[in-house]
Structure 1
Amino acid sequence: MPQDTFLLTVLINLLGVAGIVVWHLQGRSRPNERLVTQIVFFLAMTVALVFARIVPFRFDAPHLDSSGSLIVLAKILWWTHLSWATIGFVRIYIVLDGRPREARLIQDLLVAIVYLGVLLSVMAFVFGVPIGTLLATSGVFAIILGLALQNTLGDVFSGIALTLGRPYTIGDWILLPDGTEGRVVASNWRSTYLLTGAHNLVVMPNSVLAKQGLTNVSKPDETHQIVLAVRIVPTHAPALVQMVMLEALSSCNSIVQEPPSSVSLMGIDASAIDVQLYFRVMNPGQRSSARNDVIDLVYRHCNANGLVFARPLGTQVFQDGEIAAPKMSALALLRSIALFSDLTEGEREQLSAGAVEKKIAAGEELLAKGSVSGRLLLIGEGVVLLRDQGEIVARLAPGDMLGARGVIAGQTESHQALTLTPATLYEIEKSTFDNLVAGRPGLIEDLARRVGHHGSHNVSGSPPPIKSDGTRADLVHAIRVMLGGS
Structure 2
Amino acid sequence: MPEWLRLTQPAMGIFGVAIGSFSLAWITGAIVSAALKRRPDSRTKPPKLLSDLVSACLFAVALITTIGVAFGQSGAGVIASSGLIIAVLGFAVRSVVADTLSGIALSLEAPFRMGDWIEINDEVSGRVVEIGWRTTRLLTRNSTNIILPNSQIARQRLTNFSAPQRHYRTQIEVHVDVSKEPEKLGAILRDSAKRAENILTQPAPEVHLTGMDQFGLRVAISYWVPSFLDDRKCRDQVLFHVLTAMQQHDLFTKQPLHAHHQTDR
Identity %: 25
Say whether the 8 Å CA contact 1:228–1:278 is kept in structure 2.
Answer: yes
* Equivalent residue, structure 1, for 2:253: 310
* Equivalent residue, structure 2, for 1:380: none
Equivalence map 1:206-285=2 (5 Å): 206-267=150-211, 272-285=216-229
Q: Distance in 2 between matches of 1:249 and 1:145?
A: 60
* Equivalent residue, structure 1, for 2:31: 89
Residue 90 to residue 243, structure 1, CA distance change in 2 (3 Å): same
* Equivalent residue, structure 2, for 1:201: 145
Q: Distance in 2 between matches of 1:271 and 1:158?
A: 47
Deviation at 1:301, TM superposition (A): 2.8
Residue 121 to residue 93, structure 1, CA distance change in 2 (3 Å): same
Q: Distance in 2 between matches of 1:289 and 1:232?
A: 24
Say whether the 8 Å CA contact 1:232–1:307 is kept in structure 2.
Answer: no
The worse-fitting range, judged by mean Cα deviation, of 239-248 and 228-237 is 228-237
Q: Distance in 2 between matches of 1:292 and 1:73?
A: 67
* Equivalent residue, structure 1, for 2:134: 190
Residue 66 to residue 199, structure 1, CA distance change in 2 (3 Å): closer
Residue 312 to residue 225, structure 1, CA distance change in 2 (3 Å): farther
Equivalent residues, number: 253
Secondary structure, in 3 states, of the residue corresponding to 2:48?
A: helix
Secondary structure, in 3 states, of the residue corresponding to 1:64?
A: helix
* Equivalent residue, structure 1, for 2:62: 118
Q: What amino acid maps onto 1:231 in structure 2?
A: H
Deviation at 1:183, TM superposition (A): 1.7
Deviation at 1:166, TM superposition (A): 0.5
Say whether the 8 Å CA contact 1:222–1:282 is kept in structure 2.
Answer: yes
Greater RCO structure (CA 8 Å; 6+ sep): 2
Say whether the 8 Å CA contact 1:238–1:273 is kept in structure 2.
Answer: no
* Equivalent residue, structure 2, for 1:180: 124
Residue 244 to residue 143, structure 1, CA distance change in 2 (3 Å): same
Deviation at 1:313, TM superposition (A): 4.5
Residue 314 to residue 110, structure 1, CA distance change in 2 (3 Å): same
Q: What amino acid maps onto 1:162 in structure 2?
A: L
Q: Distance in 2 between matches of 1:88 and 1:295?
A: 52
Secondary structure, in 3 states, of the residue corresponding to 1:310?
A: coil
Residue 223 to residue 141, structure 1, CA distance change in 2 (3 Å): same
Deviation at 1:242, TM superposition (A): 1.0
Q: What amino acid maps onto 1:275 in structure 2?
A: V
Q: Distance in 1 between matches of 2:255 and 2:143?
A: 34
Deviations 1:101-147 (A, max 9, x none): 4532122222122222222223334x353245432231101100000
Using the size of structure 1 for normalisation, the TM-score is: 0.47
Q: What amino acid maps onto 2:167 in structure 1?
A: T
RMSD (Å), alpha carbons: 2.9
Deviations 1:200-249 (A, max 9, x none): 32211001111122111222222243322222224542211111111101
Deviation at 1:294, TM superposition (A): 1.6
Q: What amino acid maps onto 1:250 in structure 2?
A: K
Say whether the 8 Å CA contact 2:112–2:160 is kept in structure 1.
Answer: yes
Q: Distance in 2 between matches of 1:70 and 1:194?
A: 48
Say whether the 8 Å CA contact 2:116–2:127 is kept in structure 1.
Answer: yes
Say whether the 8 Å CA contact 1:102–1:187 is kept in structure 2.
Answer: no
Q: Greater CA radius of gyration, 1 or 2?
A: 1
**Alignment pair present for 1:295 and 2:232:** no
* Equivalent residue, structure 1, for 2:113: 169
Using the size of structure 2 for normalisation, the TM-score is: 0.82
Secondary structure, in 3 states, of the residue corresponding to 2:96?
A: helix
Q: Distance in 2 between matches of 1:199 and 1:70?
A: 54
Q: What amino acid maps onto 1:281 in structure 2?
A: V
Residue 156 to residue 301, structure 1, CA distance change in 2 (3 Å): same
Deviations 1:291-327 (A, max 9, x none): 22222212333344x3331147579xxxxxxxxxxxx
Deviations 1:429-484 (A, max 9, x none): xxxxxxxxxxxxxxxxxxxxxxxxxxxxxxxxxxxxxxxxxxxxxxxxxxxxxxxx
Q: Distance in 1 between matches of 2:71 and 2:216?
A: 88
Residue 240 to residue 166, structure 1, CA distance change in 2 (3 Å): same
